[in-house]
Amino acid sequence: MSSIGEGPSGAEPHGGNGPELLDRVLAGTPPAESPLRHVERLPARPARHGEWPEWVPARVLRALRARGTELPWSHQSRAAEAAHGGEHVVLATGTASGKSLAYQLPVLAALERDPRATALYLSPTKALGADQLRAVEELGLDGIRPATHDGDTPTEEREWTRAHSRWVFTNPDMLHHSILPRHHRWARLFRGLTHVVVDECHTYRGVFGSHIALLLRRLHRIARHHGSHPVFVLASATIAEPAQLGQRLTGQRCLAVTEDGSPRGARAVALWEPPLLDEITGENGVPVRRSAGAETARVLSDLVLESARCLAFVRSRVGAELAAVGAGRALREVAPELADRVAAYRGGYLPEQRRELERALLSGKLLALTTTNALELGVDISGLDAVVLAGYPGTLASFWQQAGRAGREGGDALVVFVARDDPLDTYLVHHPSAVFDKPVEATVLDPGNPHVLHPHLECAAAELPLGEHDLDAFGGAAAREAVEELRSAGRLRARPKGWYWTSRTPPHRTVELRGSGGQQVMVVEGDTGRVLGTVDPESAHGLVHPGAVYLHRGESFVVDELDTEEGIALVHAEDPEWHTTPREETDITVLETQRGHRLAPSVAAHLGSVEVTSRVVGYLRRLPSGEILDQAPLDLPARRLTTLAVWYTLDQESLTGSAPGSAGLDPARVPGALHAAEHAAIGLLPLFATCDRWDIGGVSTASHPDTGEATVFVHDGHPGGAGFAERGFAALHPWLAATREAIVSCECPAGCPSCVQSPKCGNGNEPLDKAGAVAVLDVVLAGDQAVPTE
């Protein structure tokens, strides 16, 4: 992303290497208790230079050389050539591979060639946009006039930007709320628009991604109206199927550039599984593992003892600080002089403070820094001796983005992935191929979701009446159906020239790009009235129920009150030692089966729309160690959600029969077996679709009224779906095979949080039958050799 080319300078290289560091960390652990499950050696990658394209203007070239870029890497020139030649392009390469230069070249060349040409840059976060703007400013090229347009920009500056800037740095939110609705005032920008840069585009996934896809279609339409045909240049972390993501996001065919020409040192990646503890037990008395945070603190202190410069990624800010404190404490006992060379890196820091910490780490003044996953895009460090990942960060793209901070040219670095106590992490440490071979995870979004499509068609019509020819870009038949529905609901008016938005109030303000629609719940600090953020209505009961510990940018709050009618949750700042997990009961009704196929005479799989009725019935308070303090009941109303689900059914005989190929279960074991299989499947779907286990839910039952058979459902958690269930249906066999493997790999005797327990189970994780789940999955998998028909 942000940094260009080379690694850090001025730091003394660490004397040891990755495997040696690993040996030191493991020293003293008896082999039988070793947490090490696998070590993968990733060889060094030599630099591959490209050529400066001859169309790069002389003064741009001078500025880049003065900055220290002698020659571009091969991927930079390749992507730049494509974008210069008018091809939409998605560049998907590793951390610190200098993606910025790839879009700076064609944009700056276009701006130099034609004094009326303009460009737009979009980033998911303000901080990243500010970094990228600064990089262009520092080139000191007159006449480009790069400028930011975000929520913090003062009014006079906004006017200046509108009138003069030729390269506007903004974000999707501002594009939606400020630029597109007033596009006539931005006519100069749109008339000359040659390139639209979409940075870190792999972060646009799920419902958010669906919104962005429609927003980019609106942008393209407005640009064409003003007479320009901008080229999209997308930058992404390394992901599966980048070209498809590019096309889904922009609606245009995109060329994918994935061969990374930047040099990289060799790395050893260790997969690490903390031990099961004797002294602490979890829900229903099952064993729990030592927490990833505590294990990370231990690993960090050992690395600091070896003078390795390292960075640890932890899920929450509290967790990041605990890991720093824990490492410091361990060091105080053995090497007190090193104890204060560990620090935590917080979300609230100003950019200058962040840069200062980064410099301290690069110079070796600090040896270890802990940070939250949320800062992944904001951290501008690479070339470290070691990186520790405390828990899977949710996607392989993030995994490699974080791991990419380790490894320098000529060096040999270490990456340690410490598994958390959940099924996906368990699966990954036992199945290295899922991490190191071709990724199976696809960045999923669904611009056809009517809950997202309808409001964007309204916005589009308000920006410029929608003509018949516009509808193809918005999804063709689905868009035609949608405008017809909007017309009959009185939202749009049909006139001979197209569909019009006739209300005086534009619809934009009602659209929440980062949410899934419906009335958002505002999270408000009671004392100060400060609005911390908003929560989707369907997640509110689970995230901001009374008593919930709510994390906002790493800061901790406790919820005092949830008013669902007014859509407000009142919170106060408090940092208790526990965190909370909601317990939810769920029922499912099948509304319509859209696709389906039989896997065997007794087993079938389906995708369809469902109505999910769910109720948060209580919550658990849990210590970072995994120990449960207590369970508190809640009295919240039931909610209904229409969405998509994937489900499979089994007939009675295949479950309880004794014939070969059946599970041979005692009928009393069937509910626990299905329930355990459901929990583990929810835990593993994020390996195949870029979702979080909290974005999806499930139901299992020995006999469902709508299917008449034993059924396991996994459903999307957002209205209309976000593409997750659909991906589960498409990848059913590998997904359920991985689910089975995750259960089998776990060494616990009868089920634990690492395999079949679910943190949000509304039934208190009962009944659960670990062995039964494997038997059920064997029946399903034996039948399903076929690739599902689409």
**CB of 260 or CB of 695, closer to Zn ion:** 695
Torsional sign, CA 461, 467, 473, 478: positive
| Least gap, CB of 673 to Zn ion (angstroms) | 13
Instruction: Indicate whether 757 belongs to the interface with Zn ion (CB under 5 A).
Output: no
Angle at 348 between CA 308 and CA 531, to 5 degrees: 150
Which is closer to Zn ion, CB of 306 or CB of 584?
Answer: 584
Q: Per DSSP, what are the bridge partners of residue 493? A: 500
Distance CA 774, CA 783 (A): 14
d(CA 112, CA 120): 15
Q: Counting contacts by CB under 5 A, is residue 761 touching Zn ion? A: yes
Measured from the CB atom, is 287 or 439 closer to Zn ion?
287
- Residue with Cβ nearer Zn ion (571 or 641): 641
Residue 416 C-beta-side C-alpha neighbours within 13 Å:
32
Which segment (385-393, 535-543, 544-552, 745-753) binds Zn ion by CB under 5 A?
745-753
User: Per rule CB under 5 A, is residue 424 in the interface with Zn ion?
Assistant: no
**CA 667, 668, 671, 673 torsion: positive or negative?**
negative
Q: Can you tell me which of 130, 403, 471, 748 binds Zn ion, judged by CB under 5 A?
A: 748
Q: Which is nearer to Zn ion, 269 or 752 (CB)?
A: 752
Q: Which of 752, 775, 776, 777 binds Zn ion (CB under 5 A)?
A: 752
Task: Report cis status (omega within 30 of 0) of the bond before 767.
Answer: yes
**Residue range at the interface with Zn ion (CB under 5 A); choices 376-384, 596-604, 614-622, 749-757:** 749-757
Which residue is listed with tokens 């070969």?
A: 660
Give the pairing type, strands 639-650 and 710-716. Answer: antiparallel
Phi, psi dihedral angles at 460 (to 5 degrees): -60, -45
Query: Quick check: helix, strand or coil at residue 630?
Result: strand
Q: Interface with Zn ion by CB under 5 A: which range of 19-27, 169-177, 628-636, 756-764?
A: 756-764
Question: CB of residue 679 vs Zn ion: minimum separation in angstroms?
Answer: 6
Using rule CB under 5 A, residue 746 touches Zn ion: yes
Considering the complex, what minimum distance in angstroms separates the CB of residue 765 from Zn ion? 6
User: CB of 550: closest distance to Zn ion in angstroms?
Assistant: 23
- Tell me if 280 sits within 8 A of 625, measured CB to CB: yes
Smallest separation, CB 684 to Zn ion (Å): 14
Q: Tell me how far apart the alpha carbons of residues 653 and 658 are, in angstroms, rounded to a whole number.
A: 8
**Residue choice 755, 776, 777, 780 for contact with Zn ion (CB under 5 A):** 755
The CA-based angle 598-642-457, given to 5 degrees, is 110
Provide, rounded to whole angstroms, the least separation between the CB of residue 636 and Zn ion. Answer: 18
Least gap, CB of 377 to Zn ion (angstroms) = 33
Q: Hey, which bits of 373-481 come out as E strands? A: 386-390, 412-418
Compute the least distance from the CB of residue 788 to Zn ion, in Å: 26
User: Residue 549 Cβ, how far from Zn ion at the closest point, in Å?
Assistant: 22
Closest separation in Å from C-beta 736 to Zn ion: 17
Residue that has been written with the tokens 């495997």 in this structure: 19
Cβ closest to Zn ion, residue 453 vs residue 612: 612
User: Which span sits near Zn ion by CB under 5 A: 327-335, 342-350, 392-400, 742-750?
Assistant: 742-750
Which residues, 6+ apart, have CB-to-CB distance to 415 below 8 Å? 18, 267, 268, 269, 270, 386, 387, 388, 389, 403, 406
Q: CB 742 → Zn ion: shortest distance, Å?
A: 9
Shortest CB 779 distance to Zn ion, Å = 21
Stretch that binds Zn ion, among 266-274, 298-306, 491-499, 743-751 (CB under 5 A): 743-751
d(CA 754, CA 420): 8
Q: Distance (Å, rounded) from C-alpha 676 to C-alpha 496?
A: 58
Q: How far is CA 693 from CA 318, 619, 724, in A?
A: 21, 17, 10
Contacts of 158 (CB under 8 A, 6+ apart): 149
DSSP codes, 312-330: EEESSHHHHHHHHHHHHHH
CB of 287 to Zn ion, least distance (A): 8
The one segment of 147-155, 170-178, 733-741, 752-760 that binds Zn ion by CB under 5 A: 752-760
Contacts with Zn ion in 304-333 (CB under 5 A)? none
- Total residues interacting with Zn ion, rule: CB under 5 A: 7
Considering beta carbons, is residue 488 or 703 the nearer one to Zn ion? Answer: 703
Q: How many CB atoms lie within 10 A of CB 423?
A: 30
Distances in Å between the alpha carbon of 458 and those of 163, 225, 418, 445, 722?
28, 17, 47, 20, 20
Q: At 496, which amino acid appears?
A: P
Binding of Zn ion by 682 (CB under 5 A): no
* Angle made by CA atoms 697, 700, 704, in degrees to the nearest 5: 120
Share in percent of the chain as helix, strand, coil (round to 5): 40, 25, 35
Provide, rounded to whole angstroms, the least separation between the CB of residue 452 and Zn ion: 29
Choices 18-26, 213-221, 577-585, 758-766; region in contact with Zn ion by CB under 5 A:
758-766
Instruction: Give the interface segment with Zn ion, choosing from 130-138, 247-255, 620-628, 755-763 (CB under 5 A).
Output: 755-763
Nearer to Zn ion, 707 or 765 (CB): 765
Q: Closer CB to Zn ion, residue 475 or residue 672?
A: 672
> Candidates 5-13, 14-22, 387-395, 738-746 — which segment interacts with Zn ion by CB under 5 A?
738-746
Residue 431 Cα distances to 32, 281, 435, 681, 745, angstroms: 20, 26, 8, 16, 9
Name the one range near Zn ion by CB under 5 A: 524-532, 549-557, 650-658, 750-758. Answer: 750-758
CB of 756 to Zn ion, least distance (A): 7
For Zn ion, the closer of residues 283 and 302 by Cβ is 283
Q: Which is nearer to Zn ion, 570 or 685 (CB)?
A: 685
Considering the complex, state which of residue 172 and residue 582 has its C-beta at the smaller distance from Zn ion.
582
Q: Report the residue from 754, 759, 772, 774 that binds Zn ion according to the rule CB under 5 A.
A: 754
**Gap between the Cα atoms of 726 and 225, Å rounded:** 35
For Zn ion, give the closer residue by CB, 26 or 771: 771
Fill in the per-residue mask, 693 to 732: x = in contact with Zn ion (CB under 5 A), - = not in contact. ----------------------------------------
Return residues touching Zn ion (CB under 5 A). 746, 748, 752, 754-755, 761, 763
